Chains A and B, each alone.
Chain A
């Protein structure tokens, strides 16, 4: 660290400094830039700094995998329907809370307040405090159901409306689902039990840095999701229908592809992936009603960088955002509260340099 956060805290305390100081406060990461570069250069020689660098890369890869999975869900919907689903994160959030409820014993208290629904579930659901993996699978199933229901009863009736109407509805869903989660489970930060071993010694030591089992586990999960998804899309009839719709929706409908049913399945899968991401985040950090809002913007940034219509791009973008987020603050001296800035800056940069993303296709517009 460069002693910057402490200095800034002083600034916050003494509110009566001059505007000149304020500029310094805002842009001191650029003043710190040379120091940051020096630090990166030193990693080649200094073992401890090298360790720290690798460690930060691992951390970035962990969050990157989660962003990538949510970005993948967004890209799936965007490819098939041309709709940017702003509710993707919140649909996952609800799944995450379902996982939490499924695996917590009745009346269990996170921080003094019982988790809503646990008492009810332990009464009516067999074997209620489910093991972690079962609970996450349950959440994934719930996510799929939620996605299917939303597609069937909200999005499908609006299929021939303007795209603005449809986007408005997803924004409405974002607000609505967030409100419902807040209403049911409250605003407390909850920790979902992680499905991977999170003990103190559960890591691979690589060059002195710790590659935690959780990181490996999340990447393995993401890999499984990608493999399953590509198998589904390449090998099954539903996948074929999905590809047909993606390439030409009207044409697909004309040759008898069941467009509506396939889209329902698509929404179910995307929503299930979101629920998985939320459950994993809850295991790694915490879950509160705002978690997925931040995650959504990271995922959207990832999808933008990779190209909104490219699954490959979503994975790459997720990784880029994750690494930016874990590497930029320490080496550029950006204070930790502002972790949202580097991904945003990356997104703006991507929009400036490559507006349609790394792997995205440049659309052709007809009048």
Chain B
């Protein structure tokens, strides 16, 4: 067998990645379920609920960003909440500069990717958990920092986003249902990113990332530039997380530093692990946790914050299902962990 297939994990027993094999019947069924789950909300929720749901759904991108970094590349980031924030604030400011919404969204995404690269480069020079340290520090420093940059972020009180132009084209007949249109756009953008990442992890670069995750020195021996692989993963991960921020800014035309505290980053990380690292479906399950846990908690008024559930969930999942909810569904939750 070629070197590539070995790195790919087909022989080494690494978790199979959605799409590395032909889409089977199970995958088709889950795709159908997913489509249904996406289609139902607009018909059964109020506009406020749908907007709230959309704001959580776009976090799929952030969780997938964490997943790409941690699950596929073996780097830990505890600061993805910062990238959501940077994306949202960048979006607001690019709109101010007079860009159209779609161009502003694209620019904000690229900008966030660059920020991620700048933050991560010093930490990526060294092997080990240094990226986790730097990103965690950034997550703690971001809210006061954003408070400080009053002109761009609205300072203490936050700022508005000029998203008035974001209305459905008239031929759709959705003029009275702007929230449905926005929900649809969010789903479309999320789906687009999913396809991009799916192709990425099955490409040469995806194999390089997994090789770096499993054994850096071996990867380097095979001619993979470890540094470029890590930097590329970080930039793409930050960029897609920035898109989540862009979409949040569109959904709720008010962004404030308080939305992007360190616990957002920790929750995103917990969601990625609970959902399942190293599988694309894991990001969706992770966001389901982000949606369900606060909802249940709020309905029963059990705890003052969801932190206990996420923390305990992270620990319990590591014990019983190292491959996360995604692994449970694939029937290999128990037994040896083949995730890094």
Contacts and interface: CB of A to CB of B under 8 A. Distances in A.
Contacts of B310: 172, 175-176, 179
Interface string A312-339: 0000000000000000000000010110
B170 interface: no
A252 interface: no
A179 B303 contact: yes
B50 interface: no
Interface size class of B (residues with CB under 8 A): 35 or more
A340 B303 contact: no
Interface string A130-158: 00000000000000000000000010011
A178 B310 CA distance: 11
B315 interface: yes
B15 interface: no
B129 interface: yes
A13 B157 CA distance: 10
Contact of A182 (B122, B134, B307, B340): B307
B123 A340 contact: no
B290 to A, nearest CB: 13
Interface stretch (B36-44, B216-224, B234-242, B280-288): B216-224
Interface stretch (A101-109, A160-168, A224-232, A276-284): A160-168
Nearest to B125: A355
Contact of A351 (B126, B266, B277): B126
Contact of A365 (B138, B148, B216, B313): B216
A356 B126 contact: yes
A168 B133 contact: no
A15 B304 contact: no
B132 A167 contact: yes
Contact of A164 (B144, B151, B340): B340
B3 to A, nearest CB: 14
Contacts of B129: 84, 167
Contacts of A220: none
Q: Is the interface of A mostly helix, strand, loop or mixed?
A: helix
Interface stretch (A30-38, A50-58, A254-262, A297-305): A297-305
A19 B152 CA distance: 7
Contacts of A19: 93, 151-152
B339 interface: yes
A172 B140 contact: no
Interface stretch (B17-25, B70-78, B161-169, B184-192): B70-78
A11 B150 contact: yes
A348 interface: yes
| Residue in A19, A161, A171 whose Cβ sees the most chain B Cβ within 10 Å | A171
A8 B148 contact: yes
Interface in B27-61: none
Given A11-B155, A172-B312, A367-B218, 7 more contacts: A17-B150, A25-B149, A167-B132, A301-B137, A338-B148, A351-B122, A351-B134
